[in-house]
Amino acid sequence: MQYQDTMFSPASGSRAALLDLVQMLTGLALVVFMYLHALFVASILLGPQVFNTLADFFERYYLAQVGGPLLALVFLIHFFMAARRIPFSQQDQKKVLSFSRLLAHRDTWLWTVQVVTAMIILIMGAIHIWVVLTDLPITADKSAARIQTGFWLGFYLLLLPMVELHVGAGWYRLGVKWGVIKSSARKKAKRAEYYITGFFILLGLITLARFMFVSVS
């Protein structure tokens, strides 16, 4: 089965290679950011004061004000680069599903997982970024109040595994595609992906639970 760039077709070989490079770089940047972001939010486990100190550092040096819009830009660029190979038509989607079942290969299913989670993250991630950036400064009180009210706990309980599954599959597939993960090392890399993804999902769940018990003034 042959897929064409759905949003930028037809593309020359050099142009397609350049777009693949941009996709790789933005994807790698988002992987690093999401893991660091998870660790930052988890600082609430050390207490609201630690969380607020870190948040204040980001505010003081405009890392939130500048980094937030920059993150949104990288997020959108990465999506548009990846969207070149996403089957949007129902016919193509059926072909991909049939092809994945026929191969019964884990790496093929990983691509399907990435596509599905990407669609969810595109919407939910945009909502999260907008809510945070329009309610600066970031504080433990604000974050806890948001999670403790309305539908936000359910929102993050869904967003958390979607992000971690997408990120885990992403860095693994990047390593395979660009030759960093050799065939002989795939088994170990897959195991590492399982452990890292599981760790960050568990960390996220514990973090959400901690926010539920932060006293909101």
Give 184-209 pLDDT, tens digit per residue.
888 899 899 999 999 999 999 999 99
| pLDDT tops 90 at residue 17 | no
Check the annotation: does 37 bind a ligand.
yes
Q: Go through the domains of the chain in sequence order and give each one's CATH number.
A: 25-213 (1.20.1300.10)
Q: Which residues of 77-108 are buried (b: 16+ CB within 10 A; e: fewer)?
A: bbbebbbbebbeeeeeeeebeeeeeeeeeeee
Check the annotation: does 78 bind a ligand.
yes
Check the annotation: does 166 bind a ligand.
yes
Check the annotation: does 105 bind a ligand.
no
The string of pLDDT tens digits covering residues 71-82 is 889 988 988 887
Give the model's confidence band at 2: pLDDT under 50 very low, under 70 low, under 90 confident, else very high.
Answer: very low
Q: Report how far Cα 170 is from the mean position of its chain's Cα atoms.
A: 9
Q: Rg of the chain over CA atoms, in angstroms? A: 19
